[in-house]
Structure 1
């Protein structure tokens, strides 16, 4: 099913062109990342998808419908970065209220509130006040609100911002577990988090769709990313170039190398590389198949 279809989509604010002739088609499925520098047009695109604003030129369809139309009520939800529940009313009270706004009545509204709390692992905190929750639990409670009514599309803005690694992992696991039934579009500056979670990445810059990277078909068969402990990187690069199958080596940052190799040497290259590092008594921090998202977008 078409999640999003844009054709010649542009948005102007006075003389400023915030979104510039974007053509894009996305299908429902695995989480999708939306990245780009501040002012790139990400918020404008999300606002157009939600029907908060109208395009200046072109057209946009969400789940085959006009954004903001009655046909999308309950099917599209959004969670802004700093969204928070009222600190003085329990989670159950507030979520049941939002469920009633979605058309649930009486006991059904409370059951829906408990259902979404179960999805985010907060049933035991149902009668707690938001101000009594940890930051990570507060994020999950806010996501629960966005899940009321079983939407087909959920827009998340910086869902792991300010979280420690454990709580960030909890949010990633939550999104992954729900992705079979809900398509998530996630706007974030945290490329490392997005790489672990998303199947596709859209890169906006100066209002234009600069790149669309499909992480499910990325170049893991022809690249290795090697991150080292501090060492003589120039000497190491020279030694690595002697390994069979190596076509090119590109530095990426102070202690990282991107190795491009011939696919036929894939199975033996890992072993030979590790043997070389052992012989030279060199320690590495990370060795992964493919390139990092940062390298794919900016190299």
Structure 2
């Protein structure tokens, strides 16, 4: 990682607000983008809300797999409002300013919920691993109490590190410019505005990304390596197809979320591009939550049956 030092101490200003540029470079598309993102927001809330409800209410979905899925859908309902409502407000009013405290709060909430999503995806991979590789021990290993403890740990584990990381970043002095070339207050664009020696802060970002993104991703890869190995040893093609179908939905979400997150936070600083960071951020903040209900419902017969019963009621 390239050491970065910004020397202009005489140009330091005590910034009290920032300006989120988001789609300011395409003023002729503001109305269209507002309509698109509003539709995505409504669809995401309704889709994940329905998946959450049917996993809680349908008697046929009271299993550990659907317990994790319900919590994952609830997480997505919490995750997207961190960024999308303000983006919609900016597109509608053209007022793009955000003060220091709301910016720090937005970053902290996004980082905490992002860490929770990483851990929950690991828990879902472990559930899939035990179900396929050790089916006889599944009821003992993955009990309701264990599920509740794993989910609680997923929600809590990232909080101390992410709060400390946010406080560290916003304790930095900032240069004269207050323009954030991004949709929301994220780490890379905020660090671009910081003055002085930010090498320690960059190292902290990389270490946190390795611990909270890369390590969970590697655990999921190891789990799926063993899962695929076990599936290929199954005697019948029907059993193999059913096993692959059980895990393929989760794997699609993993690729979408972790792929964009790893590139954003772990790629070399020299290759950072505002345009690329914007596109990648859309994947892990909006695209994954939007496709989550479709991926899990359209590829899962039990969810489709429960959904039909729910809609009929």
Q: TM-score, normalising length from structure 2?
A: 0.23
Higher helix share: 2
Higher strand share: 1
Q: TM-score, normalising length from structure 1?
A: 0.24
Where relative contact order (Cα < 8 A, 6+ residues apart) is larger, the structure is 2
Higher alpha-carbon Rg: 1
